[in-house]
Structure 1
Amino acid sequence: SIYIPYYAYQLGATEIEVGLIGASAGVPYIFIPFLAGRLSDKIGRKKGLLTGVTVVSLSYITYLLIYRPSLFILVRVIEGVGWSFVWPSMEAIIGNSEKRLQVYNIMWGFGATLAPYLGSSIYQFYGAKNVLLLSIGLMVASFIFTISGKEEIVLKNSSNGRCKGDFRFKPIFFIPFIYGVLGYTLLTFFPIYAEKRALSLNVSGLVLSVMNFGRLSAFALSNKTIFGKERVQEYFTILLGLVPVGLIFFANEIILVSLFFLLGFSLGVTYAYALAKILSISEANRGYYAGAFESLLGLGAFSGPLIGGILANLSFNYIFVIPGLLILLFIFLKKIR
């Protein structure tokens, strides 16, 4: 998914089309995780996970068959439907156990750390289709592991069939939205931006892997008491707005790598804290709240690249100002709450 927007750009997509391709996966991700998470509470998380893995695999196969950039938008929507089932189901299976959440975040964070550099190397030397073939192989392996796993116990709300969720504004619900905006905007546009700054695709993959390594490092330290303090969380949230601005002015690759590590670490600290807090709201409705978390992330994943595509048409530098403006809004909302 990281290199689909770049692949489309190489096929002739405009900056606005790249933004639409990056944003399109977020469209179903705004709404479906709510439904998928709630459904998993009733029918079982394993079925939701299998559904998602199947849909994502089919979308990757379709990418191999198309060459018109506009068609990528439709397939990305389908891919987004698949991920809408995968992530809430996995998070509901993991639960709100601090240790299990830490291991879960470390494992997917480890995969996300390897993926950008590995993908960019394969793309640069062997082409985009081989990256897609590797992705398909990994999804097939995921399907086999899911099939062979034990079905989990389905939790039901014994009081009634309705979820009694409280979605009045709470700052913690804003964090996955910020994560979606920042993460998906960078993944969509940074490889193109780097190319315009005379950096190779391999360097783009390296710095994105460094960002994910920073996030992985934060996941590994997430059980430390200091990261559970609200004031510390506020500092790292502010960094999410400040660090991207530095990407406009980086002078060399060492500074670039340092900025991405700091950004990834800040993302990891805030993500792990928000996920644990939201999943702990209700044991019986855990799938529902996992869906809420992912839907908010999806709203950010949709709006970030979409706005970024419009701004990139004017100047790519404007893209990196978006997180800062968002953090200012977040601080303002906290003050008036």
Structure 2
Amino acid sequence: MKRILILVNITGLIIGISYGLHGPILPVFAKNIIGASYSELGLIGLANFIPYMFIPIFVGILLDRFNNGYLLALGATINSVSIYLLSIAQSVPEIMGFRIMTGVAHAFFWPPCESIISNHSKEKDRVKNISWFTMFFVIGFMIGPLIGNAFLEGADVTYRILFQITGFILSTAIISAILASRKSITNHHEKISIASIKEMKRFPIAIILLVFFTSSFGIILTIYPAFLNDNGMSDRDILYLYFVFGISRVVSLAFAGKLSRKTSHTLIAAAMSVSLGLGLSVVSESIITYGIALVLMGFGFSIFFPLTLEIILSKTKKGISGKIIGAYETVFGIGWAIGPTIGGPITQSFGDQSPYIVFGIIGIGITAIAITFRKKLEPKRIQNI
């Protein structure tokens, strides 16, 4: 593996650890310490994801003009500061403000990593390399809750101190990002043009699946921990459950290369898996059944990413790949924003199980769409074999 790909994977691992360390605890902190309602948890999630609806477009343009490694280092810097600042938050609006910063930072993390990997990969290795990067991030996200548990077992470690520790850990990713900048390749094949984003219109079925996966994932990241807490799960139970969630994601990504040979079938299975996991969450009463639900969702939430990205990149000219990646990540942001925006108010109005019922039913419909239009869910290179 090329040195730059190793550096990008290390960066993904560090950022994944930081996300796993504080992410599952933040909704519990907001609910129990700050006093946030479920609607406010939805707003906090929206604040985190709404920048991702717009910023990736502009980052995508920058990717084709500037050193991708420098953009990645900028993202790591903003991210570490935003998480550290959570330690001084005293109100929901303050948390929302800091999560907006995190959302902006994430737009300078994921698209540059994808662009670096795409630019330094042969077409036949692209799914594998993107899957490896995602797997390193998810391994970090899996390890993070265990580290968080170890810290919380210390008598003097509070949620706020945990956020400070997370900020320091994340800041080390700046080093690997700067090192990656020395080897980064920048495309200058086409002029900057927002019009190139219209290329995404050629992938309607992939976009429909992408919005479903990301909106459901947004709920699992922003509201589900509080839901687990209200249903008898302790802080440590929640962290262990997200560790299991991480294991499922890592195992899924480890087989992404083989599963990509049947891209449409895998995406159909992923949609079914997420729907089943959401449905099981409604009837779960123990940590074991919640764990099974998260294992099912972990498969779907991991495997869809490299496969849908490959569908789009395989049918896109390399000269505008940065802009397309930016557009792809913008769709990510739209989905992430939809989940908390809908999930929070639904929970507040109809009960804590309601969003999982609603999105589980939607998932069944999405699965039917994927089955009907499965030929559109195959990358170009697979179709040509």
TM-score by length of 1: 0.91
| Residue aligning to 1:242 | 276
When structure 1 is superposed on structure 2, of 60-69 and 226-235 the one drifting more is 226-235
| Residue aligning to 1:264 | 298
Give, in whole Å, the separation in 2 of the partners of 1:320 and 1:225: 27
Give, in whole Å, the separation in 2 of the partners of 1:151 and 1:333: 42
| Residue aligning to 1:43 | 66
| Residue aligning to 2:138 | 109
**Aligned-pair CA distance for 1:279:** 3.0
CA contact (8 A) 2:41 2:222 kept: yes
Runs of 5+ unmatched residues, structure 1: none
Indicate which of 119, 134, 145 corresponds to 2:148.
119
Structure 1 residues 157 and 56 mapped into 2: Cα distance closer, same or farther (>3 Å)? Answer: same
1:246-297 deviations in whole A, cap 9, x for unaligned? 1111133222212211210122222221122223323222221221222111
Aligned to 1:58, the other structure's residue is in SS state helix
Structure 1 residues 296 and 123 mapped into 2: Cα distance closer, same or farther (>3 Å)? Answer: farther
| Residue aligning to 2:105 | 82
Matching of residue 204 in structure 1 with residue 246 in structure 2: no
CA contact (8 A) 1:243 1:263 kept: yes
| Residue aligning to 2:363 | 327
| Residue aligning to 1:29 | 52
1:155-189 deviations in whole A, cap 9, x for unaligned? 1225x443645222521123332232122211212
**Aligned-pair CA distance for 1:124:** 6.0
Structure 1 residues 69 and 148 mapped into 2: Cα distance closer, same or farther (>3 Å)? Answer: same
Give, in whole Å, the separation in 2 of the partners of 1:333 and 1:288: 27
| Mapping for residues 145-294 of structure 1, pairs under 5 Å | 145-149=176-180, 150-158=182-190, 160-162=191-193, 164=196, 165-168=198-201, 169-225=203-259, 228-280=262-314, 281-294=316-329
CA contact (8 A) 2:274 2:300 kept: yes
CA contact (8 A) 1:6 1:188 kept: no
1:213-242 deviations in whole A, cap 9, x for unaligned? 111111100111565341332122122223
When structure 1 is superposed on structure 2, of 214-223 and 273-282 the one drifting more is 273-282
CA contact (8 A) 1:26 1:298 kept: yes
Structure 1 residues 117 and 186 mapped into 2: Cα distance closer, same or farther (>3 Å)? Answer: farther
Aligned to 2:293, the other structure's residue is in SS state helix
| Residue aligning to 1:5 | 27
* Aligned residue identity for 1:167: M
Give, in whole Å, the separation in 1 of the partners of 2:260 and 2:113: 27
Aligned to 2:36, the other structure's residue is in SS state coil
When structure 1 is superposed on structure 2, of 136-145 and 281-290 the one drifting more is 281-290
Structure 1 residues 66 and 232 mapped into 2: Cα distance closer, same or farther (>3 Å)? Answer: closer
When structure 1 is superposed on structure 2, of 292-301 and 119-128 the one drifting more is 119-128
Structure 1 residues 290 and 5 mapped into 2: Cα distance closer, same or farther (>3 Å)? Answer: same
Indicate which of 294, 302, 308 corresponds to 2:337.
302
Give, in whole Å, the separation in 2 of the partners of 1:283 and 1:8: 43
* Aligned residue identity for 2:220: L
Aligned to 2:257, the other structure's residue is in SS state coil
Structure 1 residues 122 and 321 mapped into 2: Cα distance closer, same or farther (>3 Å)? Answer: farther
| Residue aligning to 1:316 | 352
CA contact (8 A) 1:41 1:287 kept: yes
Structure 1 residues 208 and 227 mapped into 2: Cα distance closer, same or farther (>3 Å)? Answer: farther
| Mapping for residues 65-80 of structure 1, pairs under 5 Å | 65-80=88-103
* Aligned residue identity for 2:363: I
Give, in whole Å, the separation in 1 of the partners of 2:81 and 2:71: 16
Give, in whole Å, the separation in 2 of the partners of 1:58 and 1:233: 36
Give, in whole Å, the separation in 2 of the partners of 1:260 and 1:55: 30
Give, in whole Å, the separation in 2 of the partners of 1:133 and 1:300: 29
Aligned to 2:39, the other structure's residue is in SS state helix
| Residue aligning to 2:75 | 52
Structure 1 residues 309 and 123 mapped into 2: Cα distance closer, same or farther (>3 Å)? Answer: farther
CA RMSD of aligned residues (A): 2.2
Structure 1 residues 20 and 206 mapped into 2: Cα distance closer, same or farther (>3 Å)? Answer: same
Aligned to 2:185, the other structure's residue is in SS state coil
* Aligned residue identity for 1:46: G
* Aligned residue identity for 2:134: N
* Aligned residue identity for 2:189: N
- The number of residue pairs the alignment matches comes to 336
| Residue aligning to 2:168 | 137
Identity between Structure 1 and Structure 2 (%) = 20
Aligned to 2:199, the other structure's residue is in SS state coil
CA contact (8 A) 1:194 1:204 kept: yes
When structure 1 is superposed on structure 2, of 223-232 and 284-293 the one drifting more is 223-232
Give, in whole Å, the separation in 2 of the partners of 1:286 and 1:295: 14
| Residue aligning to 2:14 | none
